[in-house]
Amino acid sequence: MRLDKAALIDRGSKLRFSFDGVGYTAHPGDTLASALMANGVRLVGRSFKYHRPRGVVAAGSDEPNALVTIGQGAEQDPNVRATVQEVFDGLSARSQNRWPSLGFDAMGVNDLFAPFLGAGFYYKTFMWPKAFWEKLYEPVIRRAAGLGALSGLPNEAKYEKAFAYCDLLVIGAGPAGLMAALSAARAGADVILADEDARMGGRLLAETGEVDGRPGVEWAEATIAELTQMPNVRLMPRTTVTGAYDQGTFGALERVASHLADPPADMPRECFWRIVARAAVLAGGALERQIAFQNNDRPGIMTASAARAYANRWAVAPGRRVAVFGNNAGIYQTARDLMAAGIEVPVVVDTREGAAEDVGTRVIEGAVVAGADGRKGVREIVVRRPNGAVRFAAEGLAVSGGWNPAVHLTCHMGGRPEWDAELAAFVPRRGAVPGLFPAGAARGVFGTAGCLADGARVADEALTALGHKPQALNVPRAEDGAYDIAPMWVVPGKGRAWLDFQNDVTAKDVRQAAAENFQSVEHMKRYTTQGMATDQGKGSSVQALAILADATGRTVSETGTTTFRPPYSPVSIAAMGAGGQGKGFAPERLTTSHAATLEMGAPMMEAGLWYRPSYFPKAGETTWREACDREAAMVRDSVGVCDVSTLGKIDIQGPGAAALLDFVYTGTFSTLKEGRVRYGLMLREDGTVMDDGTTARIGPQHYVMTTTTAAAGQVMQHLDFVTQCLRPDLDVAFTSVTEHWAQFAVAGPRAKELLEGLCDGPIDLPFMGCGPVSVGGLAGRLFRISFSGEHAYEIALPARYGDALFRALVARAEELGGGAYGMEALNVLRIEKGFITHAEIHGRVTAFDVGMQGMVSAKKDCVGKTMSQRAGLMDPGRERLVGLRPVDGGELPMIGGAHLFAEGDAPVRVNDQGYITSVAFCPALGESRALGFLKRGPDRMGERIKAVDHVRGETVICEVVDPVAFDREGGRLRD
Amino acid sequence: MIDLTLTAPLEGRAPVELGATTLAAADPGPLTLIMPFAGQTEATGAALEAAIGLGVPPVGQTRTAGDVRVIWFGRNQWLVAGAQVAADVPAAVTDQSDGWVAVTLAGPLAADTLARLTPIDLRPASFGPGATARTDLQHMPASITRIGAEAFLILTFRSMAQTLWHDLADALRGVAARQGG
């Protein structure tokens, strides 16, 4: 019901929205919760477990009941708090966890079985038969219980993440936060003021008290206006600080577009901020709790502060008659505010004796509300005194059981809050999060005047810690009544008194947990699920602890508390992962030949972050194998061109360059002559092979190392580690030049002919030679190295010429009967030659395993040498590199990953003899060839072995052969 | 003799202009990485000073004269942009002209745009004109230099040019959308 009074809404303009398909109107300034209340909608959701009808109980993000789904299709957003969601024109909201409708929910039948569904029900009931859990019980329970659902579709909406820095982060823009921000801003600090609400001001927007002789709202507006003008202040409304992390880092979720009817296409829906602050003031206020009694979850029953907020800020109420119940002085302010707003307050029920104030209506002291009637909305309340019970008609009930400081962020780094018996609340432990200073209600200083003064004082404390000189700030005048709380947690009596509305936990559940010896708070929490819902028990955990304390004969302080973890309120995964969806997950690295390769119709494969061509299809070819076979044969017969720019290239210079290479490679590079290239094997410190590649000496103190594509980053990191930590004595400098050079392999009997037609002079390099080359007057590098077993070169020019050079090389190759070849053919060629890649040096094999122990120089030390010589790593019985061919020739119908077994053995784990790492059909051999690792492999040449691919269900008998199948003498390379 | 045409890493990319902020491909000229040998930093600075009029700046800083810039580029590394380094300096000298793609992001939304992608503190007091950092840009390794009150020079690996452009343009559009434009 909308009240006829002034409020912070724009009555001059109307917004249309719908809830469960029914159209309503609202005003700018309304939340979905206030707008529903204005339209007389009290029933807004069904509870998690029992499907009980529920209404709005809070006015902020602590709302446990009023969770709705906003939006349709992929962008459907479940569990949105109606108390946070601003109404916009066209907003469409749906209730959750009900079927077929909110008014008639068939699952409401669960409530009738409540006596059987209490704490520990699942554990006791569904333990047997064991197999039933996954197949029957869990699916049924999940369907019956739950909140909103995701669409299951990929969410294409734009989300954003961002970073911000400041001297002082002020969390919360109520009286304490505004004073803290003002004080810090005037002192010249960089300030970020973040507030969860669309409008800053905190409780000043919801209360009627004056600040500095004018309404609190006006003071807040004036203060915000001043802050807005200051260049050193950033105001962040609609921003919830969700977590406190190490070294002054805070997570914060900003709602950017979720309140707009028609946001610009590029506007992100939400932004997840990482804010790094030298210090922070936690001025997040306090959250009011209720007192539990029978049926205290009926729609229309809410916290007293929420009732005041709805009446004062939004001019709405759950009905014409709203009763008030509580254990502290705040109930009288509530009654006054509601009556001033034109609401009838039939009774104020005060649990205390002798504290009544004259508010112009009936006050009953020493009494409790013992029950509520009205299933889908409260109709009547039962007020009980020692001498009997009285019923009052009421459409709403405002309840105050006291306030809980919002200590959540102070718990995020392991700190537990302390019990303050006088306040009957947990307050932050001092220093719980370094650099985080709680202020105002967040540390138990209640009341406007208290918060104003405390905000200024705590900001000064924080500023002093930062070395700023605080400015003396006049604290504006305000009046605070007494708090005067007399703790009461639950009204004794029959029936279910609700604590955790989100998880449907009652006072009886907590007592039952204690009775069944789940007496630790942590056990009680898990046994009952109290506080384990998305609100982390904001409105209920303290009552539950107090009941547990009572049931176990301890004080609350002795009982202790569970803790709060980030996030303070739920954060969508989409916001945290912003920018990382799909291809945003990692950058794409494209070679200079990328465009030309695509033009040639080559399908691309990913090699780390790089994209490389699989093969270059020709007209008439229908399978990749046809293209691959043709390309492999082409390299053997004429000439092929392949982009090898993705291999890591590291430029190494300085007097210590040779010594560094000798230290990181198993072989010796100090003896390598200028203009020559040598193959090298690099070990990890544990003696396992890290990487292999060639290194060229291009000057007396100048080398160029190549790495595999996969290990380029790892090798660079390794060199940094070696030079900074193991050999800081070496005077050597190195840097990656991978990106500077476009490098192409030109391989085949006509490679030299091709290059001589392209380059500016004759080509005269011996095998494993290198030197400068000139192409069209441009200076490049030429290496005579081969990964195909053919007479081959790698030619490099600065990357800007890569595209042109690739096109020129391919065109000339085609003239000579060759062309471009892709990764598939490259793989075939190297398997024919028994050359290893990371398929073989996969991180578990040693130089000994790949038959390269002879390359570990005996004359010098190198990284990993000693460890590689451990007896276990030199055991001849190890799985060692071999070649494998099908005994009957033909093709091996399997790929890497197949396992090897003795011919007569069952293909089971205990009989395992080794495994296959690479397989290819080799056109040069007319049959398939595999590389793999076999126990005692090199000693078993000619033996028959059974290769079993369990995934594909294939078994083939193979012959163990030398890994080098083609041109074993290497004549073609050197020719 | 063959005539090879050159291709810029962001060939054909027209600038993205939103409001008064512009993302544009940049050509910082020749790039030479200078890594002084042991104990030779000062001598390297002096030799560079004599050759191009600029010495080596301290960590996180640049030195600029006209179009020539010396950018601190990491531990014991400086990148000379906009001039050939022909001088005999006691350092490892490596041509990196083709290893990096460069863009400029300039205008009132530039810093807010970068704040979507890089975790560094971009406030003028920490990162004023002339300041430089080696850092992450989204998932890319980057060099970011503030070359004006509202202007940044951004370098990353040449192979990542398209991702760089996509991520910066996307972030800029998101920031601009908040300004109502």
ipTM: 0.97
Averaged pLDDT, A553-575? 92
What band does A125 get if pLDDT is binned at 50, 70 and 90? low
Q: Is B8 on the interface with A (CB under 8 A)?
A: yes
**Contact yes or no for A281/A168 (Cβ under 8 A):** yes
From the CB of residue A565, how many other CB atoms can be counted at a distance below 10 Å?
11
The answer to whether residue A800 neighbours chain B at the CB level (below 8 Å) is yes
With CB atoms and an 8 Å threshold, state whether A801 touches B33: no
Beginning with the edge strand found earlier in the chain, give each strand of the sheet holding A819-820 in spatial order.
A770-775, A778-783, A792-798, A741-747, A640-643, A819-820
pLDDT > 60? residue A396: yes
Question: What is the residue-averaged pLDDT of chain B?
Answer: 96
Q: Touching check for A256 and chain B: CB below 8 Å?
A: yes
Maximum distance among all alpha carbons in chain B? 55
How confident is the model at residue B133, as a pLDDT?
98
State how far residue A863 is from chain B, nearest Cα, in angstroms.
Answer: 23
Residues 6+ apart with CB under 8 A from B176: A266, B18, B19, B21, B109
The CA distance from B169 to the nearest CA of chain A, in Å, is 11
Give the rounded percent of residues in chain A with a pLDDT score beyond 70: 98
Whether A737 sits inside 8 A of B173 (CB atoms) is no
Other beta carbons less than 10 A from residue A724's beta carbon:
10
Q: Does B139 touch chain A (CB under 8 A)?
A: yes
Mean pLDDT value across residues A272-295? 97
- A471-475, A732-736, B89-93, B125-129: which has the minimum mean pLDDT? A471-475
Locate A303 and state its tokens. Answer: 């916290």
Interchain contact, B174 vs A158, CB within 8 Å: yes
- Does B135 contact A at CB distance below 8 Å? no
Name the token pair of A902: 């003795």
Buried b (16+ CB within 10 A) or exposed e, A210-240: bbbeebbbebbbebbeebeeeebbbbbbbbb
Instruction: Identify the sign of the CA torsion A317, A318, A319, A322.
Output: negative
**Nearest CB partner across the interface for B4, out of A165, A589, A778:** A778
Which residues in B lie closer than 8 A to residue A651 (C-beta atoms)?
A: 92, 94
Evaluate whether A241 touches A508 at the Cβ level (below 8 Å): no
- CB contacts of B98 in chain A (<8 Å) are 739-742, 798-800
The pLDDT score that the predictor gives to residue B181 is 44
User: Once rounded to an integer, what is the mean pLDDT over residues A326-331?
Assistant: 97
pLDDT value at residue A858: 94
Cα A253–Cα A254–Cα A255 angle in degrees, nearest 5: 120
Asked if residue B180 has pLDDT above 80, the reply is no
CA distance A4 to chain B (A): 35
User: Least CB-CB distance to A163: which of B35, B99, B119?
Assistant: B119
A201 phi-psi bin (left φ>0, alpha ψ -120 to 50, beta other): left
Sheet with A368-373: list strands edge to edge.
Answer: A368-373, A380-385, A388-393
Question: What is the distance in angstroms between the Cα of A616 and the nearest Cα belonging to chain B?
Answer: 22
What are B154-173's pLDDT values in tens digits?
999 999 999 999 999 999 99
First to last CA, chain A: 95
Tokens of A98: 């009900």
Nearest CA in chain B to A739: B99
* A&B contacts, CB < 8 Å: 144
Nearest-by-Cβ selection for A654 from B5, B37, B174: B37
Binning chain B into helix, strand and coil, the percentages to the nearest 5 are 20, 35, 40
Within 187-206 of A, beta carbons closer than 8 Å to B belong to 190
The A residues from 68 to 97 touching B (CB cutoff 8 Å) are none
- Say what the pLDDT of residue A146 is: 66
Q: Tell me the nearest-neighbour CA distance from A740 into chain B, angstroms.
A: 4
Torsion of CA A304, A310, A311, A312, to 10 degrees: 100
B144 near A CB under 8 A: no
Query: Could you give the C-alpha distances from A973 to A572, A878, A967, in angstroms and in order?
Result: 58, 31, 9
Q: Per the CB < 8 Å rule, is B98 touching A778?
A: no
DSSP β-bridge partners for residue B152: B105, B146
Find how far residue A45's CA is from the centre of its chain. Answer: 29
Q: Which helix (H) or strand (E) holds A77?
A: strand A77-81
pLDDT at A70: 95
What's the confidence (pLDDT) of residue A425? 96
Given the structure tokens 């660079």, which residue do they identify? A716
Residue A704 pLDDT exceeds 80: yes
Q: Do A264 and B163 touch (CB under 8 A)?
A: no
pLDDT surpassing 50 at residue A29: yes
Count of all residues that appear for chain B in the document: 181
Q: Is B43 on the interface with A (CB under 8 A)?
A: no
Please determine, for residue A129, whether its predicted confidence score (pLDDT) is greater than 80: no
**Residue A798: enclosing H or E segment and its boundaries?**
strand A792-798
Whether chain A has a CB inside 8 Å of the CB on B91: the answer is yes
Scanning A125-164 for CB atoms below 8 A from B yields 158, 160-164
Tell me how close the Cα of A465 comes to any Cα of chain B, in angstroms: 19
Three-state secondary structure of A93-148: EECCCCCECCCCEHHHHHHHHHHHCCCCHHHHHCCCCCCHHHHHHHHHHHHHCCCC
Give CA–CA dist A8/A3, Å, rounded. Answer: 12
For tokens 């160029």, what's the residue?
A704
Contact B138 A160 (CB under 8 A): no
- Beta carbons of A266 and B161 less than 8 Å apart: no
Strands of the sheet containing A77-81, edge to edge, are: A22-26, A15-19, A91-94, A67-70, A77-81
In angstroms, the CA B51 to CA B87 distance is 6
Write the pLDDT tens digit of every residue in A226-280: 999 999 999 999 999 999 999 999 999 999 999 999 999 999 999 999 999 999 9
Please say whether the beta carbons of B109 and B172 come within 8 A: yes
Average pLDDT over residues A769-788: 97
Three-class secondary structure of residue A900 per DSSP: strand
Query: Going by DSSP bridges, is the β-strand pair B21-26/B31-36 parallel, antiparallel, or unpaired?
Result: unpaired
Residues of B in Cβ contact (< 8 Å) with A270: none
Cβ–Cβ below 8 Å for B4 and A651: no
- Please list, in sequence order, all residues whose beta carbon lies within 8 angstroms of the beta carbon of residue B144, skipping any fewer than 6 positions away: B114, B118, B120, B132, B133, B135, B137, B152, B153, B154, B155
Query: A 777-796 residues with CB below 8 A of B?
Result: 777-778
B174 → closest Cβ in A160, A165, A591: A160
Chain A CA closest to residue B179: A267
Q: Which of B116, B121, B162 sits opposite A165 (nearest CB)?
A: B121
CA distance A585 to chain B (A): 8
* Residue of A266, A775, A810 best to disrupt the B interface, most CBs of B under 10 A: A266
Structure-block tokens of residue A244: 């406190």
B174 contacts A268? CB cut-off 8 A = yes
Report the residue of B33, B159, B167, B178 to disrupt the A interface, i.e. the one with the largest count of A CBs within 10 Å.
B159
pLDDT at A42: 95
Cβ contacts of A406 within 8 Å, gap of 6 or more = A282, A284, A285, A286, A287, A441, A442, A568
Categorize the per-residue pLDDT at A126 as very low, low, confident or very high, splitting at 50, 70 and 90: low
B160 at interface of A, judged by CB pairs closer than 8 A: yes
Reference B169, options B10, B28, B17, B27; nearest CA is B17
A247 DSSP 8-state letter: G
Distances (CA, A) of A196 to A69, A229, A253, A254, A280: 20, 21, 9, 8, 16
User: Shortest Cα distance from A502 to chain B (angstroms)?
Assistant: 35
Mutate to test the interface with A, among B158, B167, B173, B179 (most CBs of A within 10 A): B158
pLDDT digits (tens, 9 = 90+) for B24-78: 999 999 999 999 999 999 999 999 999 999 999 999 999 999 999 999 999 999 9
**In chain A, residues 729-748 whose CB comes closer than 8 Å to chain B:** 731, 733-742
Residues of A in contact with B10 (CB under 8 A): none
Cis preceding linkage at A570, omega within 30: no
Paired sense of beta strands A191-194 and A233-236, if any: parallel
Specify whether the CB–CB gap between B178 and A267 falls below 8 A.
Answer: yes
Mean pLDDT of all residues in A302-331: 97
Are the Cβ atoms of A800 and B91 closer than 8 angstroms?
Answer: no
- Answer yes or no: is pLDDT of A857 > 70: yes
Cβ within 8 Å of B, A 564-623: 579, 584-592, 610
Of the candidates A162, A265, A739, which has its C-beta nearest B157's C-beta? A739
Contact yes or no for A735 and B92 at CB 8 A:
yes
pLDDT, mean over chain A = 95
